[in-house]
Amino acid sequence: MSDRREPYVKAYPQLFACALSNYLTPRQMNTKINAVALGILLYSAHAVIPPAHSQSSLPNSRAIAAICDIGTWPADHPGSYIFWGAAYIDAARYDEALACFNIATQDPDGAQDPEAWNGKGVALSGLGEYEQAIQAYDRAIRIQPGGIYQNSTKRRIQPQDYYLWWFNRGTALVDLERYDQALVSLDRSLKIRPDYGYAWLYRGLVLYNLGRYDESRVSYTKAITLIPNYGYATFIRNSVSEDDYLFWESRAIAMARLKRYKNADFSYQQYVRIRNNNADLEPNRAAIADEPITLYMQGIRLARAGNNQAALVILDRAVEKYPQYADGWHFRGNVLADLGQNNAAITSYDRALAIEPSHFTAWYQRGNVFLDAGEYREAVKSYDEAINYATDFAEAWHNRGIAMYELGEYEIALQAYNKAIEVPRLWGGISTADSLYGKATALYRLRRYQESLIALDEALEINPEFPAAIALRNEVRDLLGIASN
Closest CA to 41 of 130, 131, 104, 132: 104
User: Which positions of the chain have pLDDT values less than 50?
Assistant: 1-64
What pLDDT, on a 0 to 100 scale, did the predictor assign at position 284? 63
pTM beyond 0.75, yes or no: yes
What pLDDT does 121 receive?
94
Give the pLDDT score at 157: 83
Q: How confident is the model at residue 275, as a pLDDT?
A: 86
Q: Which long-range contacts (CB under 8 A, 24 or more apart) does 261-269 make?
A: 261/300, 261/304, 264/297, 264/300, 265/297, 265/300, 265/301, 268/293, 268/297
CB neighbourhood size of 366 (10 A): 28
Q: What angle do CA 214, 217, 222 make, to 5 degrees?
A: 130
Q: Which residues contact 86 (CB under 8 A, 6 or more apart)?
A: 41, 44, 47, 48, 49, 97, 119
Determine the Cα–Cα distance for residues 17 and 364; give it in Å rounded to an integer: 38
- List, for residues 194-207, the tens digit of each pLDDT value: 999 999 999 999 99
- pLDDT at residue 458, as a whole number: 98
Spatial separation of the C-alpha atoms in residues 398 and 423, rounded to whole Å: 10
pLDDT reported for residue 152: 61
C-alpha closest to that of 176 among 227, 128, 228, 231: 128
The per-residue pLDDT for 292 is 92
Domains and CATH numbers, the chain: 1-193 (1.25.40.10), 207-282 (no CATH), 432-485 (1.25.40.10)
Contact 157, 143 (CB under 8 A): yes
The letter for the amino acid at 403 is A
Q: Quote the pLDDT of residue 87.
A: 87
pLDDT given at position 23: 34
Give the model confidence (pLDDT) of 126-169 as tens digits: 999 999 999 999 999 999 988 777 766 556 788 888 999 999 99
Radius of gyration of the chain (CA): 25
